[in-house]
Structure 1
Amino acid sequence: MTDHGTPAVELRAATRTYGTGERAVTALDRVDARFEPGTFTAVMGPSGSGKSTLLHCAAGLDRLSGGEVVIDGVPVGNLSERALTRLRRSRVGFVFQAFNLVPALTAAQNVALPLRLAGRRPEPGAVTAMLAEVGLAGRERHRPSELSGGQQQRVAIARALVSRPAVLFADEPTGALDAASGAAVLRLLRAAVDHHRQTIVMVTHDPLAAATADRVLFLADGRVFDELPGGAGAERIALRIAHAQHTVVAR
């Protein structure tokens, strides 16, 4: 587990460039960021600001062009693909907007899947307990098609948390949900931080969602543009997003 003095994730001068020459696009431009254990960070910014690139690079799903990512004290830049895959399976959880559940598997089987892929057997009762924790007790045998969108996202959250990762990354986790289901998902994420000291990094376009976090990082043109405490409120967060958008347009 992450030590008190070790960030769950750290980006050091993180740079990601796509293409070469005149066609080169810098999605991340020397970003420095620390995500401490037991904290909930929302990442916001205009379209094309680098939010998803930051998330994918920080999770080890995409390689940096320059700089460094350190996950739970392990620099990932020099890891082989196999070693990086092992690190992701043991120390990283990921929740996607589109749920990404396996249709042929039950809820319980979907939750257990990351452990089985890592060659580990779930502890007796662990999967059932995790589904109960996200409000899905009794739904263990249901397949995704038998669950609502909000319930599917809760299965995805249970799947991401069952290994107790050092960090959980969430990419627009409420984007495909109605307001009530989205609020329920945010409460689950908040509870994971408050009760289990889980570290969460969430990309969102929704100021209300961002307001549930401990802090909000704003990106513009691939750089950290600003930072606010999550308790600043949705209206203030929305104003900062508007400022970021105006800055990008002005450039």
Structure 2
Amino acid sequence: MPVRRGPTPDRGTVAAMTTQTVVLRDVRAVFGTGTRQVTALDGVSVTFERGRFAAVMGPSGSGKSTLLHCAAGLDRPAGGTVTIDGTRLDGLSEDALTRLRRDRIGFVFQAFNLVSALTAEQNVALPMRLAGRRPPATEVTAALDAVGLTGRAGHRPSELSGGEQQRVALARALISRPAVVFADEPTGALDSVTSKQVLQLLRALVDEHGLTVVMVTHDQEAAGYADRIVTLADGRVVSC
């Protein structure tokens, strides 16, 4: 299926697009049918700027995780558009969407999602190997070095602390040099000291390497590391 293209943007629009990594326009997400239908996102429009750290907050059921899943191309919205790094997701086939997620998006989740039988460096390289590519050892080392784990490359998850496992997950997200990293409660399984270390690392990656991060969190202290807080309630943006 070809990518759907809109009208050619004017110069002002092009200039704005270069500063916006993720753009959601009037996004709706609906689950269930009939009397059990639930509107998780109700016309959400929000942009996430390149090289910035954004936190998405709101009460349980406000639509935080649904927003992240739609923005990351994990779920297709019922309406509206999502654009990542200049590419509209609604015009992509499933294969093209999979490639975009693999090449342009990094993911970090609360549960780490590491393969227990693999070492840290093997976990970092795994997504590219599954895609049929062998990342140069120097790139794997650079990704681990960026998260402060060069000396732990040969250790398996069971030999690493929770914070170190989350750092491996972050290195895995960075290996493809993504346009954006989506983090869903990345410190939810960590103690307060380790959470602070991971958040400081994310902050440093934004400030020193220009990483774009969109983080869902319920923790006000964690959100304090972000440049901007987007707050949801009942599937709508109430402040940003």
TM-score (norm 2): 0.91
Q: Aligned equivalents of 1:115 and 1:5: distance in 2?
A: 31
Residue 23, structure 1, aligned to residue 28, structure 2? no
State the Cα distance separating 1:80 from its structure 2 match: 1.3
Partner of 1:199: 212
Residue 70, structure 1, aligned to residue 62, structure 2? no
Question: Higher relative CO (CA 8 A, sep ≥ 6), structure 1 or 2?
Answer: 2
- The letter of the residue matching 1:211 is G
Question: What's the secondary structure of 2:183's corresponding residue?
Answer: strand
Residue 186, structure 1, aligned to residue 186, structure 2? no
Partner of 1:212: 225
State the Cα distance separating 1:4 from its structure 2 match: 6.4
* Aligned pairs for 1:1-251 within 5 A: 5-6=16-17, 7-227=20-240
Q: Aligned equivalents of 2:31 and 2:22: distance in 1?
A: 23
Structure 1 residues 4, 204: CA separation in 2 closer, same or farther (over 3 Å shift)?
A: farther
- The letter of the residue matching 1:5 is A
Q: Aligned equivalents of 2:66 and 2:137: distance in 1?
A: 37
State the Cα distance separating 1:119 from its structure 2 match: 2.7
Partner of 1:248: none
Q: Aligned equivalents of 2:206 and 2:140: distance in 1?
A: 19
RMSD: 1.2
State the Cα distance separating 1:118 from its structure 2 match: 2.7
| Runs of 4 or more consecutive aligned structure 1 residues displaced over 4 Å after TM superposition | none
**Could you list the runs of 5+ residues in structure 2 that have no partner in the other structure?**
1-13
- Check whether the contact 1:14–1:31 (CA below 8 A) recurs between aligned residues: yes
Percent identity, aligned pairs only, is 68
**Could you list the runs of 5+ residues in structure 1 that have no partner in the other structure?**
228-251
1:131-169 CA-partner distances (Å, limit 9, x unpaired): 122111221111111111110000000000111100000
- Check whether the contact 1:90–1:118 (CA below 8 A) recurs between aligned residues: no
- The letter of the residue matching 1:45 is G
Q: Aligned equivalents of 2:160 and 2:86: distance in 1?
A: 38
1:175-223 CA-partner distances (Å, limit 9, x unpaired): 1001111011001111111111111000001111101000000000000
Q: Aligned equivalents of 1:141 and 1:123: distance in 2?
A: 16
TM-score (norm 1): 0.87
Question: What's the secondary structure of 2:92's corresponding residue?
Answer: coil
- Check whether the contact 1:192–1:198 (CA below 8 A) recurs between aligned residues: yes
